[in-house]
Amino acid sequence: MENCFAQLKEFDIPFEAHALSAHRTPNEVIKLAEEAKDRGIKVIIAAAGGAAHLGGVIASSTTLPVIGVPIQTSALGGMDSLLSTVQMPGGIPVATVAIGKAGAKNAAILAVQMLALSDEALAKKLEAFKQAMADKVIADSVIEVE
């Protein structure tokens, strides 16, 4: 999740991080989800591996948007995490991103996009970020052939 944290920091998004388990600490997970809105949290990012039910448990306990990040596992390369995160019953949405580092980064960017809907300054930072990304691809697109 370091990629997620770094991306949130790049956008100056305050955040808190907790290491909890939907299976081992369900009461704490539910309490955290239920109290998040009152603490000013607007989006929750939940990373989980294997039987990755964390995002679903959180989504069932709050009205805040939940972004799920499937963590790569040694057993199935993260496919188990992906399927556990993305396959939610109707009414319990978890916006699921890619497995691993790219997914962690995209979770942060998706959260920024959600927050930017009601924050013009953040929206401008996001536009500049996307433009810089495009500019880099264009600059790197020239292939010198000898």
Bridge partners of residue 49, in order along the sequence: 71
3-state helix, strand, coil in the chain (%, to 5): 50, 10, 40
Q: Return the pLDDT at 125.
A: 98
Q: How many structural domains does the chain have?
A: 1
Q: What is the pLDDT along the chain (146 residues), one digit of tens a residue?
A: 999 999 999 999 999 999 999 999 999 999 999 999 999 999 999 999 988 999 999 999 999 999 999 999 888 999 999 999 999 999 999 999 999 999 999 999 999 999 999 999 999 999 999 999 999 999 999 888 98
145 lies in some domain: no
146 lies in some domain: no
Alpha-carbon distance 129 to 43, whole Å?
20
Q: Return the pLDDT at 146.
A: 86
Q: Return the pLDDT at 141.
A: 94
The secondary structure of 37-104, three-state, reads: HHHCCCCEEEEEECCCCHHHHHHCCCCCCEEEEEECCCCCCCHHHHHHHHCCCCCCCCEECCCHHHHH
Q: Return the pLDDT at 80.
A: 95
33 lies in some domain: yes
CA distances from 132 to 49, 81, 88, 127, 140 (A): 32, 32, 35, 9, 12
Listed residue (12, 3, 5) closest to 102, CA to CA: 3
24 in a known ligand binding site: yes
Structural domain harbouring 111: 2-139
Write the CATH number for 26.
3.40.50.1970
